[in-house]
Structure 1
Amino acid sequence: MPKTAHSAPAATRRTRWTALVLAGAALASVTAGAVLPASATELPGAPGTAAARAYHPVDTAALTALMKPDAVASGTMVRVGGTGPGWTAATGPLSQDPAANFRIGSITKLFTSTLVLQLVGEGRFTLDTPVQELLPGTLPAHWEPITVGQLLSHTSGIQEPCVAFVDGEAPTPEQVVAHWTDPRCAAPQYPVRVQRYNGANYFLLGMVVEKVTGRSYADEIRRRIARPLGLRHTYSPKPGDRTVPGPVLADGGEIEPWAWAEGGMLSNAPDLERFITGLLRGRLLKPAQQRQLFAMPALSEGAVDRFSTGGLMRAEIGGTVVWGKTGSMGRSTSGVFATEGGRRTLVHSLLPAGVDRDLMRGRVVALVGAAL
């Protein structure tokens, strides 16, 4: 998930490790036969079912080797779930509590896209509705119409901002969007020829959710997703709230106070596992929107990262198609992925030990390959 167009404006903030491209990357080599970490825990499953037998066992030896602190990551948390036996472990300076909380960064976008697809299913608007109709006056009058569907699938053509935030400020969503629409910055690229990941798309979608529902983004997350799925540790914090309730997966690190519907939520591994499973199994969306969740737009061909019409990242690793999202916040980079129907799920979080994106990319791909 390349971060040149991720949660924060790349030109104005420090590098946030959301540039973990999965599609097309080669699996990193792993050492077989390693001993399981002492903290590893078997999770309940249903190994006797036909669905479980259809999937390979979790490669715990490979995962254990990949999780050993090294020059790529000083610590790693992994939780594998779905059908069949699960597995969880943490290494390095990460909490050994399997329910430790953390900022999920751009994984937040999956929650935002789910809200938007729910509203589409309710007939509040369509994927072809221009955002200018829903948020009049928010975008410059001379811009071409940008549809809800283009925002969801990162095909809006919106460019990177050219003005900086003041360190420590917690701007409103409207102020954040104003950075992308400043007349000194480049206008959207027309015609759009390929997907280009950009956090501005999801700030606008969060604003659409609030305008159409008349409720706050945080309220809609709680009402439409967290409560129905029983996610007790998943929420959107109040503006400017930098705290993470204990137990905390990793201490320290700068926290962006403004990421909101684009990258500001908190959760934990069990909740994210339940969310991706519920999403992929159709518990949150109507059938038509469930199909949109997996439809791949033509502009995704050739993109660095490929996103569905509904905002899901799609990657093929070791011959297996996986769906999910990566995200970063503070010191850590995290992700949630699943195979079709949520039959096997992976939640991971790493503490990067360096600045080599290719090495981190390979590590994430290898974790996904060993788990799914």
Structure 2
Amino acid sequence: MRPRSRGTVLAAALALALAAGPLVAPAFAAPDRTATGTTSGTATGTTTGPDAKALAAAIAGLPDHDATAAALRVGGKGTWRGTAGVRDVRSGAPVLENGRFRAGSVTKVVTAAVVLQLAAEGRIDLDGTVQRYLPGLLTDAFRPITVRQLLNYTSGLRPGASLGDTVEDGYPHRFETLTPQQVVASSVAQGPAYEPGTHQEYDNIHYTVLGMLIEKVTGDSYAHQAAVRIFRPLGMRDSSFPVGADPRIHGPHNRGYDWIDGKLVDVTEWNMSDRWAAGDLISTTADLEKLLVGLFRGRVVPEPQLKEMFTLPDVPGARYGAALERFELNGKVIWGKTGSRPGYATVMAATPDLSRTLVYSVDATDAKGDGQAIAERFAYPAFKR
């Protein structure tokens, strides 16, 4: 049984600065298809652009034991694009460069952006409390929890209910529904984990409550607010959320797989209603690149609210601002967000000045594991120089 990952390991993996080791030989019957990558923009021989050789090596050999497909977009001072693998193991159809996928916790960046826009409009006070905006949601056992503490994961709320802490546990329940209201109610019933603002604990529950806050303040659905405030202005035409309990990914997409009881199982269809504003975004690498660049350039969230995303709370060991995680590599500060759902691992990250950007989607066969091997293999080469 693989332990559930409650936070990104991208920072740890990059900090180790380890190149990926030899690839594991495929342990399933997959088509003999040579991986291909494409490059564009800055010549690969420059010292300021991305390391094209290392990036090509990262996607070489797909599909293999760890991933069936990958699509990478590296930008900034020089660009690189690469795709490899198959969209469907059974048919052997080639990977779709702009196929849709489940972006997991990258959803939190969208949620944080909507909340911060509402704050800029004066409709939400970041120092206002959950008790003020959502009266009755919390019991008297909870001290006041501010919107800012939800954004930076310091609220003290405990994790809510799930339909399985591992892919193996969740697979038999993949078409069942666990509503955000049920998730939050189960969290509240456990009482607070710690005094708000004294500790940072990454978990979906903070952003599930933020989704409720968005709906209460706007009188509109979370999905529609994300569409009109984020997707449409940025031209993110292939980004959406499932409607209710719909387990499908609509439109062109690469299928996701996971090892379950020693067998490679198709896990593409999965009801993500319990993840909601914390993790049920469906997107593409091109769309997430638009989000990443637009956000960092201040076109999504205005100052001074934008600084919330790049400000760590004053608590021991803090790594996250509002949604985004901060880490350092070779003296460079990088901010980003990972996401994982069964069959899909996603990263969007960049230096603050956008001199280097990275977005990838990997159809990882252990996407809900600790993620370190995937991060080392696909993320590290993008920031190697």
TM-score bracket for this pair, using the shorter chain length: 0.7 to 0.9
Residues 178-327 of structure 1 mapped to structure 2, 5 A cutoff: 178-182=185-189, 185-190=190-195, 192-251=197-256, 252-253=266-267, 255-258=270-273, 259-299=275-315, 301-303=316-318, 306-308=319-321, 310-327=322-339
Shift of 1:353: 4.2
Residue 24 of structure 2 corresponds to residue 27 of structure 1: no
The letter of the residue matching 2:375 is V
User: In structure 2, which of residues 48, 57, 61 is the aligned counterpart of residue 65 of structure 1?
Assistant: 57
Residues 128-167 of structure 1 mapped to structure 2, 5 A cutoff: 128-161=127-160, 167=173
SS of match in other structure, 1:206: helix
Q: Which piece of structure 1 moves more, 313-322 or 234-243? A: 313-322
Shift of 1:89: 1.9
Aligned equivalent of 1:350: 362
Aligned equivalent of 2:48: 56
163 and 266 in structure 1: CA distance in 2 versus 1, 3 angstrom threshold: closer
Aligned equivalent of 1:85: 79
The letter of the residue matching 1:331 is G
- Aligned-residue RMSD, C-alpha: 3.0
Aligned equivalent of 1:329: 341
Shift of 1:93: 5.2
197 and 38 in structure 1: CA distance in 2 versus 1, 3 angstrom threshold: closer
- Counting matched residue pairs gives 344
SS of match in other structure, 1:341: coil
Residues 73-112 of structure 1: CA deviation (Å, up to 9, x unaligned): 4543322123423322223557522110001111100000
Residues 148-170 of structure 1: CA deviation (Å, up to 9, x unaligned): 00000000111234686893332
User: Which TM-score applies when normalising by structure 2?
Assistant: 0.80
332 and 189 in structure 1: CA distance in 2 versus 1, 3 angstrom threshold: same
Aligned equivalent of 1:119: 118
216 and 162 in structure 1: CA distance in 2 versus 1, 3 angstrom threshold: closer
Residue 173 of structure 2 corresponds to residue 173 of structure 1: no
**Are the equivalent residues in 2 in contact too, given 1:20–1:357 (CA < 8 A)?**
no
Structure 2 CA distance, aligned partners of 1:164 and 1:242? 14
Shift of 1:139: 1.2
Q: Which piece of structure 1 moves more, 362-371 or 317-326? A: 362-371
Shift of 1:21: 1.2
Structure 1 CA distance, aligned partners of 2:4 and 2:160? 16
**Are the equivalent residues in 2 in contact too, given 1:76–1:351 (CA < 8 A)?**
yes
163 and 345 in structure 1: CA distance in 2 versus 1, 3 angstrom threshold: closer
56 and 212 in structure 1: CA distance in 2 versus 1, 3 angstrom threshold: same
Structure 1 CA distance, aligned partners of 2:161 and 2:233? 40
SS of match in other structure, 1:287: coil
Structure 1 CA distance, aligned partners of 2:308 and 2:286? 26
Q: Which piece of structure 1 moves more, 262-271 or 234-243? A: 234-243
Residues 2-21 of structure 1 mapped to structure 2, 5 A cutoff: 19-21=7-9
**Are the equivalent residues in 1 in contact too, given 2:8–2:338 (CA < 8 A)?**
yes
Aligned equivalent of 1:40: 37
Shift of 1:280: 0.6
Structure 2 CA distance, aligned partners of 1:198 and 1:187? 14
42 and 174 in structure 1: CA distance in 2 versus 1, 3 angstrom threshold: same
Residues 277-304 of structure 1: CA deviation (Å, up to 9, x unaligned): 00011001111012222112112x424x
Aligned equivalent of 1:3: none
191 and 220 in structure 1: CA distance in 2 versus 1, 3 angstrom threshold: closer
Structure 2 CA distance, aligned partners of 1:179 and 1:362? 33
The letter of the residue matching 1:307 is Y
SS of match in other structure, 1:345: strand
Shift of 1:314: 1.2
User: Which TM-score applies when normalising by structure 1?
Assistant: 0.83
**Structure 1 unmatched runs, 5+:** 1-12
Q: Which piece of structure 1 moves more, 312-321 or 142-151? A: 312-321
Structure 1 CA distance, aligned partners of 2:130 and 2:20? 46
The letter of the residue matching 1:21 is V
